[in-house]
Amino acid sequence: MANEVAKKESFSTALTTELNNIQSALPEGFNIQRFVQNGVALLNGNETLAKFAKENGTAQIKQGMIGAAYLGLDFMSSEAYLIPYGKKLDFSISYKGNTKLAKMYSVRPIKDIYAKVVREGDDFAEAVVNGEPTINFNPKPFNNGAIIGAFAVCLFTDGGMMYDSMSLDEIENTRSHAKAKNSMAWSDFFSEMAKKTVLRRLCKNIELDLSATQRNIYDEDMAIETDAQEIAKADIEENANTVPFEEPEVVAEQVEDEPLPFEG
């Protein structure tokens, strides 16, 4: 028991020290003490992470938490997740976390941003009125019909609006290219993943004022959601009979020993 307490204290101390070292790069008003307390509580309450820490150590968990801290996201508020894949741990931003980041860092101030799924029986229409794109959504009350698509809307404080929509086929195509395409998140919480998928695509068109480190962490999350190797493979198969494929020359790059703050 004493050994377990010592391990928790050691993790807490190490995380606190590293966060204090990068305090100037953290969002304004970031509460290090509360974040560390929540991080330890997450380890105590998550059997999967506890098992991962026992088998692989806490280094990747600590680096994942630091990544969340750079962005100002809280694990206990379900704004981000740490997801084990074998011996590797990935940091993932939730739908809730993505809406928070858009509001926090958008160069053009945002009044509200959200996503909705569209089900069979719902009334959803897109149109261009006086040159401006518009949408109209009237969901059927308490509708549990099959999901046929999703859309995301961003309302700016200056009165402007931006939106994006995806059909079910587009969502499933994105899922097929994801590293975690067979994860519990997709199988048990498909509607939330559908909303996150269309929201992330909308956010590509929203200018976010992120530091270089924050941008790397944010983009790394997108890389986890969509596996670049799977996308490249699909692109090659799709164009196999239309254009010649030439294998690009591979140039070896020197890899630094020191990992980026958000990597395990």
**What is the pLDDT, as a whole number, of residue 3?**
52
For the chain, give the mean pLDDT: 83
- Bigger pLDDT: 99 vs 10: 99
The whole-number pLDDT of residue 57 equals 92
| Higher pLDDT, residue 241 or 74 | 74
Per-residue pLDDT tens over the stretch 27-37:
999 999 999 99
pLDDT tens for residues 163-187? 999 999 999 999 988 777 777 778 8
pLDDT of residue 8: 55
Which residue bears the tokens 């204090």? 20
Q: Which amino acid is at 8?
A: K
Q: Give the integer Cα–Cα distance in Å for 194 and 139.
A: 17
Q: Determine contact, residues 56/46, Cβ cutoff 8 Å.
A: no
Give the model's confidence band at 131: pLDDT under 50 very low, under 70 low, under 90 confident, else very high: confident
Identity of the residue numbered 166: M
Provide the pLDDT confidence category of residue 10 given band limits of 50, 70 and 90. confident
Q: What pLDDT digit, counting tens, does each position of 212-251 carry?
A: 999 999 988 866 554 444 434 444 444 444 444 444 444 4
H or E segment and range at residue 138 = strand 132-138
Mean pLDDT to the nearest integer, 137-149? 96
Q: Quick one: average pLDDT of 189-208?
A: 93
Q: Which two tokens stand for residue 188?
A: 């048990």
Rg of the Cα trace of the chain?
A: 21
Looking at residue 93, its pLDDT comes to 92
Give yes or no for residue 142 having a pLDDT over 90.
yes
- Model pLDDT, residue 86: 81
| Integer CA distances (angstroms), 43 to 64, 93, 165, in order | 12, 18, 37
Least confident of 1-15, 117-131, 239-253: 239-253
Q: Cα dist. 241→200, 235, 245 in Å? A: 32, 11, 10
pTM: 0.77
In this predicted structure, what is the pLDDT of residue 9?
Answer: 64
Q: What is the dihedral of CA 214, 196, 199, 102, to 10 degrees?
A: -40
Place of tokens 């009350």: 141
